[in-house]
Amino acid sequence: MDRARAIFPMQDRRVVITGMGVATPLGNELETFWSNLLEGRSGIGLITNFDTTDYSTKIGGEIRNFDPKPVFNNPKEHKRTDRFTHFAMAAAKGAMADAGFDLEKTDRDRFGVLVSSGIGGLKTLEDQHTALVVKGPDRVSAFTIPMLISNMASGLISMEWGLRGPNMCIVTACATSNNAIGEAWRIIKFGDADVFLAGGSEAAIIPIGLGGFGAMKALSTRNEEPQRASRPFDRDRDGFVIGEGGGVVVVEELEHAKARGAKIYCELAGYGLSGDAYHMTAPPPDGEGAARAMKMSLQHARIAPEQVDYLNAHATSTGLGDICETRAIKTVFGDYAKNGLTISSTKSMTGHLLGGAGAIELAACVLAMRDGKIPPTINLDNPDPECDLDYTAHVAKEKRVRVAVNNSFGFGGHNATLVITEFKD
């Protein structure tokens, strides 16, 4: 180990979180989002963006009354970009404001962007294909390709502030945000950048998105009770509720943050990832892949399982997924899973933001650490007998959080876990 450190001293660079921004069904301001989580409010309702008469699912976590114009310096830019990019830019602006950068004193060659999307511009694809079929190729927008490609959020965010550091997009379905944040952590530790805007966004509450997930029988059809539809770990759960929005965090090397007098929320201490190599959409029954991602993240953080105070579960409210994650948690944490670890699924309130989920859930972990309060899992009325851990049912819990774990798992067998710890100089 000592020889390895001598060869690669940059691996000891510490990484902290210094800013956060969100766009969610529970609010687009960080503190509004947080207060609604703590109060156990649901952001789920009947879908209003299009007619759902012919759909088996009619509910989702929409961001309503969202005006994309103010999120761009160029007032015309919102017309040339997809809704997922609008959410990404809004979250990035929130994170930049929260972090308090003086860009005139910042080396922008070492300021990167890694903001991703699990699907990208699905609405653009749907709209422009309709234009092609109905009106012909001459009526397809010249902006079609730039609008729909998933990397455009990262590209436009870098252009907004002239950030010329490492810039890319990772697409791993619902693990996207965690992978983006984790790879930003890795690049900073390796020494190739000092700061990143990292996270993800999604805008898939459109006809093809609802129809596609509905055809898989993945969505809840509890249309008469939208706010009670997302119910992770409950025996009566019947699928996930699709949400939209995203989150961006400022990931920064510690000495760089201290030199500019930054507010430091916490240390980003560990990152783990794995592949299930099992099935396109289902996890292995024992949750083995998820367990490996959690173990790796704790090893990187040099944290023992029994040191973890809070785990924000991926837990989407699907029959198989919630059970498999519970099994994975038991594999990693052993007896401590039942006798000390506090878990919750904030998707019970936001719905599942797909590629944007990990970032807003990491924000929830950070704020839980800041305030010593763990957000609840609402709608957990009748726990599934196979889901028998402490999921913080119904109401928030006061608890000091020194170490938190954030899980995100995606179609294709992608698993990504982040670990944050209290900052100690």
Catalytic residue list: 174, 314, 352
- H or E element that contains 206: none
Q: Give the angle 150-154-160 at the CA atoms, nearest 5°.
A: 135
Which token pair is 321?
């997924």
DSSP, residue by residue, 126-189: HHHHHHHHHH-GGGS-TTHHHHH-TTHHHHHHHHHHT--S-B-----GGGHHHHHHHHHHHHHH
User: Which DSSP state fits 191?
Assistant: T
Alpha-helix residue ranges (DSSP H) falling in 338-384: 347-350, 357-371
Phi and psi based region of residue 340 (left: phi greater than 0; alpha: psi -120 to 50; beta: remaining): left
Give residues with Cβ within 8 angstroms of 53, minimum separation 6.
Answer: none
Alpha-carbon gap, residue 376 to 298, rounded angstroms: 24
SS3 state at 284: coil
Cβ proximity of 18 and 255 under 8 Å: no
Cβ proximity of 178 and 362 under 8 Å: yes
Rg of the chain taking only CA atoms, in angstroms: 20
SS3 state at 381: coil
Q: Which residue has the tokens 């990187």?
A: 300
Q: Alpha carbon 87 to chain centroid distance?
A: 13
Beta bridge partners of 247: 22, 200
DSSP, residue by residue, 48-67: -SS--TT-S--EEB--TT--
